[in-house]
């Protein structure tokens, strides 16, 4: 049997351990990415007779991908900058 323990820290209000044997790794990642799970203290994976701390792995999986800036965005930024410079010159 495999399940996950997600420890949520509510600050002064305390902590909550969310343990549901029916929740899969994919579901835990999905809940973190959607913002349902916040302020996570740790995530442990319980498999057979062992416990593993997989907090960093799961948080890395749940992180939104970096979207590189395209050339069009850079060009638009240069045009905006040039327009702003012209505005200040006219005054």
Task: Give strand pairing partners of 36.
Answer: none
pLDDT higher than 80, residue 11 = yes
Cα gap 54→70, rounded to integer Å: 34
Domain ranges of the chain: 2-64
HSE-CB at 73 with a 13 A cutoff on CA atoms is 4
58, with CB counted inside 10 A (0-12, 13-18, 19+), is: buried
Helix (H) or strand (E) holding 80: helix 71-90
pLDDT value, residue 52: 94
| pTM of this structure | 0.66
Could you read off the pLDDT of 33-65 as tens digits, one per residue? 998 998 999 999 999 889 999 999 999 998 866
């Amino acid at each position: 049997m495999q399940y996950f323990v997600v420890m949520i820290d509510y600050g002064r209000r305390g902590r909550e351990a969310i343990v549901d044997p029916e929740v899969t790794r994919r579901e835990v990642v999905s809940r973190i990415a959607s913002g349902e799970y916040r302020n996570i203290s740790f995530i442990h994976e319980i498999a057979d007779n062992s416990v593993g701390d997989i907090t960093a792995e799961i948080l890395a999986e749940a992180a939104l991908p970096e979207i590189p800036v395209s050339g069009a965005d850079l060009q638009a930024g240069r045009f905006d900058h040039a327009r702003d410079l012209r505005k200040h010159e006219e005054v």
